[in-house]
Amino acid sequence: MRTSTALVLAAGFAAGLITARLTGPMTARAQSQHVYELRTYTTLPGRLDALKKRFREHTTAIFEKHGMVNVGYWVPADSPASDNTLIYILQHDSRDAAKKSWTDFGSDPEWKKAQAESEADGKIVDKLTSVFMTPADFSRLK
């Protein structure tokens, strides 16, 4: 009897572990699915260095302050885009979180000051594009 009870308990425990393994990651993945935002800035002629300086010294830290995760920043390798283009990806918890983060960022006094100082000798950004993306099932980023 004791052996039967132990086997039933062990089988129940094993079944619970297997069920947790099979359902746990899918549930966790669904809850942790992030949205990524691909942003491309095209600067006015000669203003890319000013934009990169602003990002390096201020913008990336202010993004983090408002819940945005800096994934990466790039400048195209080939001209003419290498002269006036900054491309970057941010990670957000959701589209709603992204909207809130951008609203908070736009009204942040630290951001307003950094923007005003960096544009004291003229406007920097000529064009901005933004694309929200969700990871494909085979993507390393989730």
CA angle (83 as vertex; 47, 70 as ends), nearest 5: 75
Selection from 53, 47, 60, 40 nearest residue 123 by Cα: 47
> Could you tell me the residue range of the domain that residue 72 belongs to?
33-133
- Asked if 56 and 71 sit in the same domain, the reply is yes
Count of structural domains, the chain? 2
Q: CA 128 to CA 81: how far, in whole Å?
A: 14
- Asked if 28 and 50 sit in the same domain, the reply is no
- Asked if 28 and 56 sit in the same domain, the reply is no
* Reported pTM: 0.76
- Asked if 77 and 129 sit in the same domain, the reply is yes
Q: Which residues contact 98 (CB under 8 A, 6 or more apart)?
A: 35, 37, 68, 90, 92, 132
- Asked if 6 and 61 sit in the same domain, the reply is no
In order, the DSSP letters of 43-97 are: EPTT-HHHHHHHIIIIIHHHHHHTT-EEEEEE--SSTTGGGTEEEEEEEES-HHH
The two tokens of residue 114 are 């950094």
Q: How many CB atoms lie within 10 A of CB 62?
A: 17
Q: Tens digit of pLDDT per residue, the chain (142 long)?
A: 443 433 334 444 444 434 444 444 433 334 457 999 999 999 999 999 999 999 999 999 999 999 999 999 999 999 999 999 999 999 999 999 999 999 999 999 999 999 999 999 999 999 999 999 999 999 887 7
